[in-house]
Structure 1
Amino acid sequence: MTVKVAVIYYSATGAVHALAQAVAEGAVSAGAEVRLRRVAELAPDSAIDENPLWRRHTDAAAELAQASVEDLAWADALAFGTPTRFGAPAAQLKQFIDQAGGLWRDGGLTDKPVTAFTSAYNRHGGSEATILSLANVFYHWGALIVPPGYTDPVVYAAGGNPYGTSSTGEGPDAAVLEAARYQGRRLAEITIRLLEGGRLAGTAADGGGARETTVGATSQTA
């Protein structure tokens, strides 16, 4: 089964962009169709110009596809990335999320698996708080949060953040990128399991014969 995953992120200096690419690679490795999308920059040029890294990445990202609410509707699963801003998501990502009110009202975000990742310059710069803050949005949506947890050694190697992959300093190192790939792969694999389970449950509801087929298929994959 092929699932559709949207990786939607904001990145100022490129650290979250690198994480987003790794998450997308992980989802693709599990057989997912992926849309990698950046959200719009809201900061004025005067602020961006004060940081050469910010200016360089902003210029380089100009050609990247920009996220839309349609991407949220299209996807079977969602991954959101943001730098931490005082322990909360960046305004750019929050502004994009705030556009999803209509889709949420119509039930278009209900039961979608979702995960999050972040980056902060300092080791204790608010990474966990930022991901937990995003989780408040996911609760309102009725989405299904899929954290990496402590489910693979790569999480420990990357610093041991069970809430979502996080990088510190100038950008993610090889261990953190591998953890991000794992997070994307885990999101896709769990989404496949959920959708296949729903399909099998629907088949079982058609009658006893279908139910027997479903049980057999489940046993073979357990």
Structure 2
Amino acid sequence: MSVNLTIVYYSATGTIAELARAMADTAEQAGNEVRVRRVEELAPRTAIDAKLAWAAHAAATANVPTATADDLIWADAVIMGSPTRFGNIASQLKQFIDTLSGPWSQGLLADKVYSGFTSAGTAHGGHESTLLALMNTFIHFGGVIVPPGYSHPDKFTDGNPYGTSHCTRNDTYPVDETTHAAARVQVERVLRFARAIQTAPTPA
């Protein structure tokens, strides 16, 4: 059974975008429909241009569609990704979330599977608190939160049961196979539970 999966992310220099694409590839190879959507950039152009990696990534992903509420309504499962900003999600992703009160109030975001992923510049720089912050939103949506947990040996290696995360060490540590493997485990688990919800009987 095919799942409609939407991956919504914010990425400044490309780590989160790479993880989003890797997750999408895993889902598509299993025969599912996937939408990968970035959120709008809020930073001023002067700030972006001041960092070469940020400016290069902005140019490289300019053609990636931006997220809308319809992308979430369409989905059976939603995975959101954000770099860690002082232990929390980036303002760009939060701004998008704050536009969703309409579909939320109509119950259109409920009963879907939700999960999250992140990256940070240091090994203990707020990975888990960022993912927990995303879960607060998913709870308000009435979503079914599916973390990867330590449900697979690759998650013990990755070391984060809350979601996939990567330490960039100030952009000097590229996304490695450990992180890619953790992302595959997370997506496969999300898809499995989304299919289970699709086949669950509708309450009387």
SS in 1 for 2:84: strand
Flag the structure with larger Rg.
1
SS in 1 for 2:163: coil
1: distance between equivalents of 2:188 and 2:28? 7
Structural mapping, 1:5-20, within 5 Å:
5-20=5-20
Q: Which amino acid aligns with 1:174?
A: E
Q: Are 1:79 and 1:114, in contact at CA under 8 Å, matched by a contact in 2?
A: yes
Structural mapping, 1:49-128, within 5 Å:
49-128=49-128
Which position in structure 2 is the counterpart of 1:211?
none
Which position in structure 2 is the counterpart of 1:147?
147
- Kindly state the Cα deviation for residue 111 of structure 1 after the two structures are TM-superposed: 1.3
2: distance between equivalents of 1:22 and 1:156? 19
1: distance between equivalents of 2:13 and 2:103? 30
- Structure 1 runs, 4 residues or longer, greater than 6 Å off: none
Aligned alpha-carbon RMSD (Å): 1.3
- Kindly state the Cα deviation for residue 110 of structure 1 after the two structures are TM-superposed: 1.0
- Kindly state the Cα deviation for residue 29 of structure 1 after the two structures are TM-superposed: 3.5
More moved, 82-91 vs 162-171: 162-171
More moved, 26-35 vs 184-193: 26-35
Q: How many residues align?
A: 200
Unpaired runs of at least 5, structure 2: none
SS in 2 for 1:102: helix
More moved, 87-96 vs 178-187: 178-187
Structural mapping, 1:30-41, within 5 Å:
30-41=30-41
Q: Are 1:25 and 1:181, in contact at CA under 8 Å, matched by a contact in 2?
A: no
1: distance between equivalents of 2:148 and 2:185? 8
- Kindly state the Cα deviation for residue 185 of structure 1 after the two structures are TM-superposed: 1.6
State the TM-score, normalizing by the size of structure 1.
0.87
- Kindly state the Cα deviation for residue 31 of structure 1 after the two structures are TM-superposed: 2.8
Give me the identity figure in percent.
47
Aligned counterpart for 1:178 among listed residues 165, 178, 181: 181
Q: 1:52-108 deviations in whole A, cap 9, x for unaligned?
A: 111110110101111111101110110000000000000000001111100000000
Unpaired runs of at least 5, structure 1: 206-222
Structural mapping, 1:43-54, within 5 Å:
43-54=43-54
Q: 1:151-179 deviations in whole A, cap 9, x for unaligned?
A: 00111222x10000000123321110121
Which position in structure 1 is the counterpart of 2:156?
156
